[in-house]
A and B are shown apart, each in its own frame.
Chain A
Amino acid sequence: MTELQDAARRLLEEGTVQVVIGWEAGRRGARPVFVTDSADCDRLVFDARCVHDLAVFLNPRRSQVAGLGKAAVVVKGCDAKAVAGLLRESQLGRDDVVLIGVRCGGVAAGPDGAEPPALTAETVAARCHGCDVREPAGVDVLVGAPQPEPPVAPTPDERVAALDALSPAERLAFWTAELARCTQCYACRQACPLCYCERCVVEKSEPQWVETSPHARGNFAWHLTRAQHLAGRCVGCGECERACPVGIPLGLINRKLQQVVYQLYGYTVSDDPAVPAPIGAYAVDDTQDFIR
């Protein structure tokens, strides 16, 4: 932890960056913090409660963050994939940000709690299943000791398979019940590090492609759009599902699309910005079994 604080302090004192975005221990649990004064660096923590994907603050259109000056951001291995996504899509220059990578042995499902919880199969976040990036790639500073593999959490795969086994009409009924609760608050969009459009299609009204009335049909259009726009880009950080105030299992849709892009195009989301995302690229011999 002091290693993280020292790295942040050095970056601020040297004037390399004007703000360090990390986590602090708040009253109810870990929460994001913006440190602009090197004297405050001892507030920075990293433990299993630090679930937030702080790459969301690197969105160049978040002017209130960009206004603080050049940022250093603390990233876990999975967060580094989101940063790689922003770099891949030219939303960010590699020199515009300093990445402080923390070695991570898994995080809890949520940030709450006065103390970091002991990680077990029950408490660990689903996204930590089969983690291959306990050491973040492509960072400027790497802190922390090497971490053991996180406990094996139940994956959403079983629930995805259970849905796949149903008939289309049954799936429609399942998602109607789930999506009927959506109020189109767009918390899922705001929490997503890769939903960065200056003007979202849902806010365009001429023509109005997505019905903004929060009935199931408008909600279907919204969630279809959100999922399709994230296909092959979603890093599986699970922030959308965590942000959802009515508990819609968005992770199932994201997970399904991760499986689809892997099956169709052999693509798994990469922490290397040079690897192109599957949508927006193509191969001449792509599968076309579904096309007559």
Chain B
Amino acid sequence: MSIATTIVKNTPIFGRMFAVDKSTGLEEINAWPALMIMSSFVWLVVAGLLGLVMPATQIFDLSSDHFYTTLTLHGAALTFPFSFQLMMGVGLHRSGGCVGKAITGWLPALTWLTMNLGAAILTVAVLMGLKVSVIVMFPLPLVGAQMGVWSMESVIVGFTGIYLVLACMILCYPLLVLKMMFFGKKRQELILSERSLNEPGMLGMLLAAATLLLTGLPLVVVGTTLVLALYKVIPMSLAAWAADPVVFQYTFFLFAHNLMEAMALMVASAMYATLPLYLADGSRKLYSEKLANLALWVLLVTSVTSGLHHFITFYPNQPAALSYWGNIMSWGTGMGAAISIFTILATIWQHGLKPEPGIIAVLVGWALYILDGASAIVTSNIAWTYQLHGTMWQSGHFMTVVLSMSLMWMGVLYHHYPVITGRKLDAALGSLYIKLMTVGSFGAAIVMLAGGAAGMPRRFADWHPEGWMLYGNLILAFGLIIGASFAVYFYNMMKSREISAPMGELARA
């Protein structure tokens, strides 16, 4: 039995949802993905509970310290150990079944360990007092320690955690994907639906892994230098270049921006692979694979340098030419989205759709992603960013992109869940999850954008001026609906144990 299977089996509550069904003969592509998916949902529950603390500090006038602590933990938990890890788990299982390669050995173990250990260590650092938000805000960690707001020990612990999480996302996971695609022996008994790199479902996985690896390497160099200096392996004078705020911020956003784009590429490819399975006429064909691939390439090429829009209001320190470039490339990603919209809708129109909960959840997530994309390109325009940068608009964009991708992956998981666990899910509960999630996620996204339009600042522990509390209360209300939808999703997985017997070989069908 795999170590991963044992850990899942011995985990209370969540272990019941993701216990791997060995009768399918697919444990080698299911065990580590199941553990990653289960771990991601544990982090989701943690993040959800923390998310409630932020409005609670406003409503009950609690200390702003609580607000900034939970702001940092909520954002970090949702983005990395929940969303990214969910994507890793479902994506690895899916590609394992497409290329017929086992997900076993030390690399998947290291990938899981670096993500979860890193996130746990970062959590400890935040509880020690380090309140730097999900994007670190360098050089704030060092400045806070110098000012005595938090200890240098918490900075060292925090950077250790962040470094491990980055090692997972930039090195372990991309190398695992590349290893599966280009090395190792293909085994027919592990193939669920064979696919080649010419198909958008696999191309997106490859482009995303390459993007993470290449755009993340500068940050690995900077991060390694800083961590070595913090642990006094090298003198701080040798790390001064890496501690320069401009160097750190540009390398950080070169990666962080492309991390989101890479996750989008991965989820778009998963949708291109999943949608054909639910076409009513059984044709299993996209309207045009060439157009689908073109959308992925346009997204990739335009997004790599579009992250320059993060520094537009930094002018004249960032030359105007780079700001225009970031503006143009950001809107270029919109052309990728326009192509994607046409491909998806034309496919459905051409072949009809079997409206099962898994694919509908994917499509709802995709629609949310389009809303997010529209808000993202608008705020990447130079004129608009001077009105919106630093407001709740940006938080709305960030929350929506993470949530939309997670929803799409949860829909894809709905499709793969029987293969992993050998159990079927309840369609009525699936439908209820989708309804709640649609209301909650679109409501929260639109209110956060409206809050930004009204000037409500992000990461700001006072929602009372200018009537911003109205937006805060609405965000809380929609957040609770999102929480209810997740509860239904989990209940469905718990209940699946009761409504069906182990599926064995049937799971492959």
Partners in one complex: no
